[in-house]
């Protein structure tokens, strides 16, 4: 479904991604793990068209993405729940969900998908007319994922969905991610909680200073001594 080939991305003169290669098959959950500054968020932002690679190619279902504007990439079927949630705080929950569907014009489909995400996140239904900025951290994370789902993506990019959440909410968010995947959405997951990410992923990649240093199935990475010491607490 997605193929990233030899991507080099820069922030000014800083060489952030140094030849990233990865692929995501339809129906998978694939996770990117690594420490802060490893290039995980930069990888997602490059796929989404928010950053332009200086070299390399990104193919989604065979179509080149690297020169397309972000709105076209969303229309093709890729949406993102970004790091830090970035919900619209002065807008209501409902208005945030409607913003997630800004590329769509199928009124009945949007209405149907709104019901689906509210069934997936019943807490958002209870707060549908509440300003998003007044939600708890966990509720804001649910809203960020729900908003991304309103674009009806075939590939969902999730950036640090568990960041700053209490352990009970982390478990709930990961169960919801598993449910989204079981309903047919492919997921590329960036997550510092490597233990939880590898529990639900099919495969994973380990990033270090802008390069992939290890890849394998989730069980292979879980049992790898380097991964265990660096990311799983030994």
**What is the per-residue pLDDT across 49-80, written as a single tens digit (0 to 9) for each?**
999 999 999 999 999 999 999 999 999 999 99
Residue after which a domain boundary falls, among 151, 170, 203: 151
Query: Can you give the pLDDT at residue 89?
Result: 95
Cβ–Cβ < 8 Å for 124, 146 = yes
Task: Tell whether 226 is covered by a domain.
Answer: yes
Report if residue 126 sits inside a domain.
Answer: yes
State the greatest distance between any 2 C-alpha atoms of the chain, in Å, as a whole number: 51
CA 117, 86, 89: angle at the middle one, nearest 5? 85
Choosing from 151, 174, 205, the residue where a domain stops is: 151
Q: What is the pLDDT of residues 162-178, one digit of tens each?
A: 888 888 888 889 999 99
Walking along the chain (234 residues) 10 residues at a time, the average pLDDT comes out as 97 95 98 92 96 96 95 95 91 95 89 93 94 93 94 96 85 92 96 91 95 95 90 72
pLDDT at position 234, please?
Answer: 57
Give the rounded distance of the alpha carbon of 102 from its chain centre: 19
Q: 151, 168, 189 — which closes off a domain? A: 151
The pLDDT assigned to 36 comes to 87
Do 23 and 112 lie in a common domain?
A: no
Range of the domain at 115: 88-151
Domain count, the chain: 2
Task: Name the average pLDDT for the chain.
Answer: 93
Residue 82, domain member (yes or no): no
CA distance 222 to 25: 20
Integer Cα distance of 172 and 122 in angstroms = 12
Tell whether 202 is covered by a domain: yes
Alpha-carbon distance 208 to 156, whole Å?
Answer: 23
């Amino acid at each position: 479904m997605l193929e990233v080939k030899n991507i080099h991305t820069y922030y000014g003169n800083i060489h952030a991604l140094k030849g990233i290669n990865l692929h995501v098959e339809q129906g998978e959950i694939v996770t990117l793990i690594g420490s802060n500054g490893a290039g995980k968020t930069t990888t997602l932002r490059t796929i989404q068209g928010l950053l332009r690679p200086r070299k390399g190619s990104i193919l989604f279902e065979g179509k080149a993405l690297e020169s397309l504007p972000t709105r076209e990439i969303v229309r093709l079927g890729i949406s993102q729940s970004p790091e830090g949630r970035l919900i619209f705080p002065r807008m209501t929950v409902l208005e945030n969900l409607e913003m997630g569907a800004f590329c769509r014009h199928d009124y009945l489909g949007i209405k149907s998908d709104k019901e689906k995400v509210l069934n997936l996140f019943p807490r958002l239904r209870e707060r549908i007319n509440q300003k998003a900025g007044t939600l708890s951290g966990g509720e804001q994370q649910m809203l960020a994922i729900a908003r991304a789902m309103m674009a009806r993506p075939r590939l969902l990019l999730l950036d640090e969905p568990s960041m700053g959440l209490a352990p009970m909410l982390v478990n709930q968010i990961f169960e919801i991610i598993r449910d989204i995947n079981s309903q047919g959405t492919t997921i590329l997951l960036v997550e510092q909680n490597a233990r939880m990410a590898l529990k639900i992923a099919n495969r994973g990649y380990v990033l270090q200073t802008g390069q992939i240093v290890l890849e394998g199935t989730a069980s292979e990475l879980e049992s790898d001594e380097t991964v265990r010491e660096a990311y799983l607490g030994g």
